[in-house]
Structure 1
Amino acid sequence: MVGESLNQAAGIRMTHVPYRGTTPAAQDLLAGSVTLFIETSLSTALTYLPTGKIKAIALTRKERSPLLPDLPGMREAGFPEIDSPAWFGVVGPAGLPPAVVDKLNKAIHASLQDKQITEQLAKFGAEPVPSSPKQFKTYIEQEIVRWKQVVKQANIKPM
């Protein structure tokens, strides 16, 4: 989907090559079987960039990351409309009592204050961005709208 966003923003046509995971795609990039690999997770970059066998062009998110400070974000790369960071969230079943949601949210926020936890997350390219359940819900709703537009413009159909 990020590749399709780049197609639309740059007015180009890249061919999407589906893979069953990041590792086979990265291996094909290293082997020269593909010339470009788009990955939203910083963990892949943190794994392969130090080898010197690949060159990163830009992050898929709008701004630079403190984990890869020399790598520009999409805004600097000339595509300010693209902002596709990898993100993780905690969700529960519909109808979860508000008291439980609040308790879980407080526990998660507390854990993200622990330096050991944030250091471990950083090793995997994760940068904590604590938010409220309402903020996270809004973010997901915005993502759905955004990606629906990309799908519609690209005329992507279910298989």
Structure 2
Amino acid sequence: MLVDAILCNYAEAVNNQLYIAGGGIDVVQIPAGMEPPLGISLAIGIIITIPWSQTDQRHDVDISLLERVTGIVRAPTVDGGSEPISMELSFNLGRSPDLTDGDHQHVCLAANLPGLPIPAIGKYELLVRIDGQTRRRLPFRVTSIAES
């Protein structure tokens, strides 16, 4: 299974085609003086290429936000606790009758993450796992814009 992914300002998957705006984000700048958590907005567009032998079966996708030094980023909950920032979904791509062993199909996925609570300036990544295996890491930095 091959996974292509991109961080962007906006992503949408329509009729198994991926539409993105502002693709290629690797730095997110926030205004100076903002207090944590820093609400940023990101999106992720994903194209998964699936070999014939892995169609007609369920696949689980997990996308997690990680701080590159300390690990999983947690968001505060209303009860005073916290939970990992992640999303989970699954898909089952049917096997078209005109495909044969060795052919591939793809599925497009998109997720928009407005107001993502980042705990501090620093280095982060979105980790994409499929069926428990890490398939893609999308690193980015959060920096502060100096006031002028």
Q: Which one has a larger percent strand, Structure 1 or Structure 2?
A: 2
Q: Which one has a larger percent helix, Structure 1 or Structure 2?
A: 1
TM over 0.5: no
TM-score by length of 1: 0.20
